[in-house]
Amino acid sequence: MCVGKAKAAHLKIMAQQPVDDAVEGFMDLLSDLSVSERSGHALGVASRLIEYAAFEMAGTYSAEEVADLINCAARVDHVSSDVQTDVPDAVLPALRRMQ
């Protein structure tokens, strides 16, 4: 029983590592941008991730919780639009890979 739980925990950690690495890579890309660009892109990605999580949670969590997350994503996206400037050419391919 303990071995099965340990293997499951190890597999979960192994599955999470590529995601963590991708986030770290994205953070490195952001650090090369100006403050307004960094803020806008970080908020844009955060909005997309919140919305993604909300739709993944649909059916498991209450409709109210999911709706709150979708509204939160919309508010974050709105702020992102306010601060975001044109995306530099060097960042576009990396952003597309993350989609």
Answering whether pTM is above 0.75, one says: no
Residue 62 has which token pair? 């209450």
Angle at 49 between CA 14 and CA 44, to 5 degrees: 130
pLDDT at 20: 86
Q: Indicate the pLDDT class of residue 28, thresholds 50, 70 and 90.
A: very high
Q: Specify whether the backbone of 19 is left (phi greater than 0), alpha (psi in -120 to 50) or beta.
A: alpha
Higher local confidence (pLDDT), 84 or 21: 21
Inter-residue contact 86 to 33 (CB < 8 Å): no
Indicate the residue type of 68.
D
Q: pLDDT per residue over 42-99, tens digit each?
A: 999 999 999 999 999 999 999 999 999 999 999 999 988 887 655 554 555 555 555 4
Q: Give the domain ranges of the chain.
A: 2-98
- DSSP string over 50-92: HHHHHHHHBTTB-HHHHHHHHHHHHHHHHHHHHH--PPPTTTH
pLDDT at 99: 47
